[in-house]
Amino acid sequence: SDGLVILGASYAGVQIAVSAREHGYGEPILLIGDEADAPYHRPPLSKGYLAGKVEEDALPLRAPGFYAEQRIALHLGTPAAAVDRRGRAVVLADGSRHRFDRLAFATGSRARAIPLSGADLGGVLSLRSLADARRLRAAMEGAARAVIIGGGYIGLEVASSLVLAGCRVAVLEASDRLLSRAAAPPLAAFVEAAHRARGAQIVTGVQAVRIAGQDGRVEAVECTDGMSRPADLVLIAAGAVPNGEIAVSAGLGCDQAAIIVDACGRTNEPEVVAAGDCACIRQGAAVLRLESIQNATDGGRAAGRTLAGRPGAAPVVPWFWSDQYDMKLQMAGLPTGYDRHVVRGRMEDGRFAIYYFRAGTLIAVDTVNRPGEHLQARKLVATPGRITPEAAADEGTDLRALAG
Ligand code: FAD
């Protein structure tokens, strides 16, 4: 048999391979990735790695010998260009073909490009890969002024690293608040205040219109408010788009280039699974697309089980984290559509939690510098009905007992 071919060698791709093996898949597994680096941890790229606290030797996802032990063949450095479904083969950009019985998409997402004049100037960067992070870390040396385009998690994490490195930073956010896609207003407001207190300039409701430069180097970002903000470093951090083009061409069911899967990672084709940032999960008539390690890992696990012939989806609570300055932010659940929130602890102390309820049911909890409470919160969100807003707001409530 030609076995399993997995496109994309990161969290979801590696987890699919590992879980397929764990659940008894015995055929060959080929993991194809376009990056030259062996699979590595992405979150530190905008956090500890930029701050110089995490070095490259700490980044690999697995020890070097792991893949051979698991009989997982790695093919790195060449992208897949197309899938020939009738011929059951993947065609790589160098023209080589790899036949498969089963195929997995784990192609993730890429930094959204914005069509700005001057985006090709030296000193204008984006951040998705280790290669990008090496360039950004080099560019930080000696950068005195930076403009970050996009007030999402990656933009804000890089902003905090730059501020701590002594750089003057302005963050431009097109919408009227930070983290508009990824966090509820109460947490976003706290984060914004924390950035301002550290001296970062936060500019909401404003977009970049042009990047100006001289001799091929960036000098300023011209904005919709008429201001030209000087910069020797610009980071475009305007979100991520799924790498779904190959799946779309191959005829898989997609929603805006994100491959539609069920809770077991199954696509609309029986031999194909997908997981991670390139996928979205069907939930009734809607789809949910998440960009997180938790989603890539849990989705990869589900898809791997499906490939091994043992489908089974564990119900999961989405969770995420972000490190900025001295703040460890941890988010459990999704606060979409909350109608009430309560704060546990005092925001002024920089250690607190926000509990979000919808129709009396806890749906999400954000914690700041309370890692233990985050773990309890994940359990509380997973089992509705365990806590009321009043109990959540009361610091005397024994969360561990309620979480069970
Ligand atoms: P990816 O990690 O994107 O991997 C997909 C891989 O497939 C990539 O190597 C890509 O190059 C490759 N690929 C794409 N197309 C092809 C092709 N045609 N052929 C071969 N290979 C291909 N999440 C958190 O939960 N917490 C965090 O703190 C956090 N911080 C982050 C910080 C940064 C800087 C970034 C960029 C992301 C962060 N995320 C964080 C998000 C998290 O990293 C992603 O959700 C996760 O990496 C998704 O895993 P994935 O395997 O689905 O996709």
- Compute CA distances 61 → 44, 66, 237, 308, 396, whole Å: 12, 10, 24, 23, 40
Split at pLDDT 50, 70, 90, the class of 262 is very high
Split at pLDDT 50, 70, 90, the class of 110 is very high
Q: pTM of the full predicted structure?
A: 0.97
Backbone angles phi, psi at 32, to 5 degrees: -105, 125
**Residue 390 C-alpha to ligand 1 middle, in angstroms?**
39
**Residue 260 C-alpha to ligand 1 middle, in angstroms?**
18
The percentage of residues in the chain with a pLDDT greater than 70, rounded to a whole number, is: 100
What average pLDDT does range 329-353 have in this prediction? 97
**Residue 243 C-alpha to ligand 1 middle, in angstroms?**
10
Contact 128, 110 (CB under 8 A): yes
The percentage of residues in the chain with a pLDDT greater than 90, rounded to a whole number, is: 97
What per-residue confidence (pLDDT) applies to 142? 87
What per-residue confidence (pLDDT) applies to 84? 95
**Residue 277 C-alpha to ligand 1 middle, in angstroms?**
7
**Residue 41 C-alpha to ligand 1 middle, in angstroms?**
9
Contact 368, 328 (CB under 8 A): yes
Split at pLDDT 50, 70, 90, the class of 291 is very high
**Average per-residue pLDDT in the chain?**
97
- All structural domains of the chain, each given as residue ranges with its CATH number in brackets, are 4-110+241-307 (3.50.50.60), 124-238 (3.50.50.60), 326-403 (3.30.390.30)
Distance CA(380)–CA(399), nearest Å, equals 8
Tell which wins on pLDDT, 88 or 404: 88
What per-residue confidence (pLDDT) applies to 404? 86
Indicate the top mutation candidate among 245, 293, 328, 374 to test ligand 1's pocket, ranked by most ligand atoms within 8 A of CB: 293
What per-residue confidence (pLDDT) applies to 211? 98
What average pLDDT does range 15-40 have in this prediction? 98
Tell me the three state secondary structure of residue 245. helix
Tell which wins on pLDDT, 142 or 368: 368
φ/ψ region of 118 (left if φ > 0, alpha if ψ in -120 to 50, else beta) reads left
pLDDT in tens, 211-234: 999 999 999 999 999 999 999 999
What per-residue confidence (pLDDT) applies to 313? 84
Residue nearest to atom 1 of ligand 1 (CA): 108
Indicate the top mutation candidate among 94, 288, 292, 295 to test ligand 1's pocket, ranked by most ligand atoms within 8 A of CB: 292
pLDDT in tens, 384-394: 999 999 999 99
Ligand 1 site, residue 50, Cβ cutoff 6 A:
no
Split at pLDDT 50, 70, 90, the class of 317 is very high
Indicate the top mutation candidate among 6, 7, 10, 47 to test ligand 1's pocket, ranked by most ligand atoms within 8 A of CB: 10
Split at pLDDT 50, 70, 90, the class of 275 is very high
Counting from 1 in the atom list of ligand 1, the atom nearest the Cα of 294 is 25
Ligand 1 site, residue 378, Cβ cutoff 6 A:
no
What per-residue confidence (pLDDT) applies to 49? 97
Backbone angles phi, psi at 19, to 5 degrees: -70, -35
Residue nearest to atom 45 of ligand 1 (CA): 292
Long-range contacts of 391-396 (CB under 8 A, 24+ apart): 392/342, 392/344, 392/355, 392/362, 393/342, 393/343, 393/344, 393/355, 394/344, 395/344, 395/345
Split at pLDDT 50, 70, 90, the class of 379 is very high
Counting from 1 in the atom list of ligand 1, the atom nearest the Cα of 279 is 52
**Residue 384 C-alpha to ligand 1 middle, in angstroms?**
31
Split at pLDDT 50, 70, 90, the class of 270 is very high
In 3D space, the residue among 353, 356, 354 whose CA is nearest the CA of residue 337 turns out to be: 356
